[in-house]
Amino acid sequence: DQTVQLTLKERLKEIFGFSQFRGEQEAIIHNILTGKNTFVIMPTGAGKSLCYQLPAIASEGTAIVISPLIALMKNQVDQLNAFGINAQFLNSTLSKAEITKVKKDTLNGTLKLLYIAPESLTKEDNLDFLKKAVISFVAIDEAHCISEWGHDFRPEYRKIRGIVDNIGHHSGRMGLPVIALTATATPKVQQDIQKNLNMEDADVYKTSFNRKNLYYEIKPKVDAKKGLIKYIKQHKGKSGIVYCLSRKTAEDIAELLRVNDVKALPYHAGLDPQTRMNNQDAFLNEDVDVVCATIAFGMGIDKPDVRFVIHYDAPKSLEGYYQETGRAGRDGLEGNCIMFYSYDDILKLEKFNKDKPVTERDNAKHLLSEMVSYANLGVCRRRQLLGYFGDYLDKDCGFCDNCLKPTPKFKAQHEIILALQT
Ligand code: ADP
Ligand code: MG
């Protein structure tokens, strides 16, 4: 076992250039290498990708990595290729020749990681060739997409189990090991994922959701434009993200900031891909300080020194809020998370929910109500937020608006809670 550990550590250094595993990475990698089902719940930025990339490289055959977004797949494939690892993706953007190459490399065993979206996985001819390949294990990234109770439900994700069984059966490996990974899962979502994947037996690795360096504050949304400009000017030259509900608001706020001498650009799915990429690069390269964005911005973006994340409009769920605020202070230094909150915004979101299919409406309403109670309560924000993810703090954090500036309402609520606890 000692030699395996050494080799893993050596590989970590040689391939990725890191001298140490982070948190539970090594234990997770061991678990998957011994063929056990593994469930990883760690916050964004914790280093989940490595938990399947390294064992894939260390194993014989090809690991299948299921990922929901082409952009996410491409990022990882590019990065692995730059490290000299044969990783490729299979999706609708490939030419016939490229598809042939992917299949050939999978079948001759030189491909270490095959990235694929669940929609492509269900295609008959893809299934056929995977049945003939040697598959080491299956990784399911962003596994919360499996659960209807989560914030990013993708119906195709619920078909994964059947397909994995099918591939395993034909490739002679019944019970292919599965590693599922996500950054947000309430206890209810976690249960749902494990049940759907038929992996109630999995070893679960869940690290704390507490981001100690993040400061949480909610401001009433009155004169919010003035408040926003003032705040950003006080943090001049620092990197920040302003999340807005609509594309139009993102554009308007970026413009407003520009006329107020702040270097800002918009980012949303309505911009053409080239502009989107340019704006993202301008932010990463610090040609601009602020990106005003819809939730289309952020997944897979790894900028360590974002100093503030402002929700100009209220988010739809605490899952979204946690992920978006999580992009602040990834280097462990200052990270301010400010939300402008008004009941009008909630009414707007409720109206959107009415347009959703009936099946999604109740859940959307529930997610929103959790957000509303978070915004309204006067108690420690961090305790409330972490508690929602099943991560319980035993005392108030002392580092959120309610802890630092308790209002009379807060004091009253606090006393009631203390009374209930004793
Ligand atoms: P997640 O998927 O959990 O959000 P990523 O896998 O994208 O996180 O990793 C976030 C960052 O952490 C990446 O830049 C990655 O290279 C880095 N990282 C991962 N593992 C280590 C490690 N052991 N040492 C140093 N950096 C690491
Ligand atoms: Mg990830």
Reported as a single tens digit per residue, the pLDDT across 216-245 is 999 999 999 999 999 999 999 999 999 999
Residues 6+ apart with CB under 8 A from 398: 404
User: Taking all residues of the chain, what is their mean pLDDT, rounded to a whole number?
Assistant: 91
User: Are the C-beta atoms of residues 132 and 182 closer than 8 Å to each other?
Assistant: no
Q: Please tell me the predicted confidence (pLDDT) of residue 148.
A: 86
* Tens digit of each residue's pLDDT (9 = 90 or more) over 337-365: 999 999 999 999 999 999 888 888 988 99
pTM (two decimals) = 0.83
Residue found by looking up tokens 């529930």 in the block = 366
Q: Please tell me the predicted confidence (pLDDT) of residue 39.
A: 98
User: Are the C-beta atoms of residues 254 and 292 closer than 8 Å to each other?
Assistant: yes
pLDDT above 80 for 135:
yes
How far from each other are the two terminal CA atoms of the chain, in whole angstroms? 49
User: Are the C-beta atoms of residues 205 and 408 closer than 8 Å to each other?
Assistant: no
* Tens digit of each residue's pLDDT (9 = 90 or more) over 145-172: 999 888 888 889 999 999 999 988 776 6
**Nearest CA, atom 18, ligand 1:** 47
Alpha carbon distances (Å) from 299 to 44, 75, 249, 323: 9, 11, 20, 9
* Tens digit of each residue's pLDDT (9 = 90 or more) over 31-69: 999 999 999 999 888 899 999 999 999 999 999 999 998
Complex ipTM more than 0.90, yes or no: yes
What are residue 242's phi and psi, to 5 degrees?
-115, 115
* Tens digit of each residue's pLDDT (9 = 90 or more) over 75-84: 899 999 999 9
Pocket of ligand 1, candidates 44, 302, 306, 322: which has the most ligand atoms within 8 Å of its Cβ, to mutate? Answer: 302
Q: Is 8 in the pocket of ligand 1 (CB under 6 A)?
A: no
20 HSE (CA, 13 A, CB side): 3
* Tens digit of each residue's pLDDT (9 = 90 or more) over 258-291: 999 999 999 999 999 999 999 999 999 999 999 9
Q: Is 46 in the pocket of ligand 1 (CB under 6 A)?
A: yes
- Which residues sit opposite 214 in a β-bridge? 335
Pocket of ligand 1, candidates 16, 39, 77, 305: which has the most ligand atoms within 8 Å of its Cβ, to mutate? Answer: 16
Residues 6+ apart with CB under 8 A from 114: 62, 63, 64, 65, 87, 88, 89, 90, 102, 106
